[in-house]
């Protein structure tokens, strides 16, 4: 059987420990090409670089494995990876392992998950992985067997076209992880603090800070699964239509 071609990216940048852990796993499965941002791109969401050009650089190449860093965002990396570096469709795109949660609505801010969504958009199966630990020295080991299992199943069975998977891993020792739960997105928002500080010229500036407020963490959500030490898997679609609301708004069509 032909080995699958796997494209790897992330949003913490090519030097982050999380992507190293993921690369180690996917190299067991196929030919691996890494195209990842040359610097941290956390919180970049689905941003694309339109006002300036992008570049890439080869870092390492051997039989069955190659690594490139690129300027730009995680979504740029997927586009560049497919069209310029591979000049072919990968069989799978994996993104991460992100340092920090992308559960619930955090997916909207996430560069890691945007990269997976971008792949889904062109019909390539994609998975974003995140560990619930922001620190540089986060321990990615406990989640690795689950990541291996999920990648293996997706390579074998595929996932429905134009969807991708959002996988989050609780930051606990391996023997405390209870298994995998396939879930829906929890709901919530960030209650921003916007911390005010003053520069030496006494002009104010603001740092985004804040705390996450959950408004749906019922059983069945990723938030619930993670709080209960399960690995959460949420299938993600690109359609953001609130279908149930369409009829409620039909009045708008009666334009005077």
**Residue list 61-100, contact with a second copy (CB under 8 A):** 75-76, 79-80, 82-84
Which positions ≥6 away from 139 have C-beta within 8 Å?
133, 171
Helix (H) or strand (E) holding 115: helix 111-121
Q: How far is the CB of 218 from a second copy (least distance, A)?
A: 13
Q: How far is the CB of 126 from a second copy (least distance, A)?
A: 13
Q: How far apart are CA 106 and CA 222, in angstroms?
A: 11
Site membership for a second copy, residue 192 (CB under 8 A)? yes
Q: 192-218: string of b/e by CB count within 10 Å (b at 16+)?
A: eeeeeeeeeeeeeeeeeeeeeebeebe
Q: Show the binding pattern over residues 233-252: x = contacts a second copy (CB under 8 A), - = does not.
A: xxxxxxxxxxx-xx-xxxxx
54 or 59, CB closer to a second copy? Answer: 54
Q: How far is the CB of 204 from a second copy (least distance, A)?
A: 7
Please report, in angstroms and rounded to a whole number, the separation of the first and last CA atoms in the chain. Answer: 63
Tell me which residues in 124-183 interact with a second copy (CB under 8 A): 145-146, 149-150, 153, 157, 159-160, 162-163, 165, 179-183
Please report, as residue ranges, which positions from 215 to 234 form the binding site for a second copy (by CB under 8 A).
Answer: 233-234
CB of 180 vs a second copy, minimal distance in Å: 5
Rounded distance between C-alpha atoms, residue 62 and residue 198, angstroms: 51
Residue with tokens 């955090």: 106
Judged by CB under 8 A, does residue 189 bind a second copy? yes
Distance in Å, CB of 172 to a second copy, minimum: 15
Distance, in Å, from the CA atom of 18 to the CA atom of 171, rounded to the nearest integer, reads 13
Count of other CB atoms within 10 angstroms of residue 230: 21
Least separation in angstroms between residue 102's CB and a second copy is 12
**Residues between 30 and 59 that touch a second copy (CB under 8 A):** 40, 42-51, 53-56
Q: How far is the CB of 77 from a second copy (least distance, A)?
A: 12
Nearer to a second copy, 64 or 158 (CB): 158
Check binding of 102 to a second copy (CB under 8 A).
no
- Answer yes or no whether residue 185 interacts with a second copy by CB under 8 A: yes
Choose the stretch contacting a second copy; rule: CB under 8 A; options: 22-30, 130-138, 168-176, 187-195. 187-195
With CB under 8 A as the contact rule, the residue among 7, 35, 114, 116 that binds a second copy is 114
3-state secondary structure 142-199: HHHHHHHHHHHHHHHHCCCCCEEEEEEECCCCHHHCCEEEECECCEEEEEECCEEEEC
């Amino acid at each position: 059987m032909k080995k699958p071609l796997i494209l790897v990216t992330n949003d913490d940048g090519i030097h982050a420990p999380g992507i190293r852990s993921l690369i180690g796993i996917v190299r067991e499965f196929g030919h691996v090409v890494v195209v990842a941002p040359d610097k941290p791109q956390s919180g970049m969401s689905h941003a694309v670089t339109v006002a300036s050009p992008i570049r890439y650089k080869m870092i390492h190449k051997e039989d069955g494995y190659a690594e490139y860093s690129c300027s730009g965002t995680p979504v740029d990396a997927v586009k560049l990876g497919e069209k310029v570096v591979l000049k072919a469709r990968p069989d799978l795109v994996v993104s991460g392992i992100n340092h920090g949660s992308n559960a619930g609505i955090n997916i909207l801010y996430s560069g890691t998950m945007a990269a997976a969504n971008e792949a889904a958009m062109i019909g390539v199966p994609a998975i974003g992985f995140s560990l619930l630990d922001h620190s540089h020295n986060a321990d990615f080991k406990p989640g690795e067997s689950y990541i291996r299992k999920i990648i293996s199943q997706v390579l074998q069975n595929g996932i429905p076209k134009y969807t991708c998977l959002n996988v989050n891993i609780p930051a606990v020792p391996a023997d405390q992880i209870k298994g995998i739960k396939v879930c829906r997105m929890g709901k919530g928002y960030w209650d921003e603090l916007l911390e005010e500080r003053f520069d030496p010229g006494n002009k104010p500036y603001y740092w985004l800070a804040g705390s996450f407020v959950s408004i749906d963490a019922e059983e069945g959500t990723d938030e619930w699964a993670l709080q209960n030490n399960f690995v959460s898997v949420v299938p993600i679609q690109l359609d953001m239509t609130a279908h149930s609301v369409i009829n409620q708004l039909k009045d708008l069509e009666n334009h005077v």
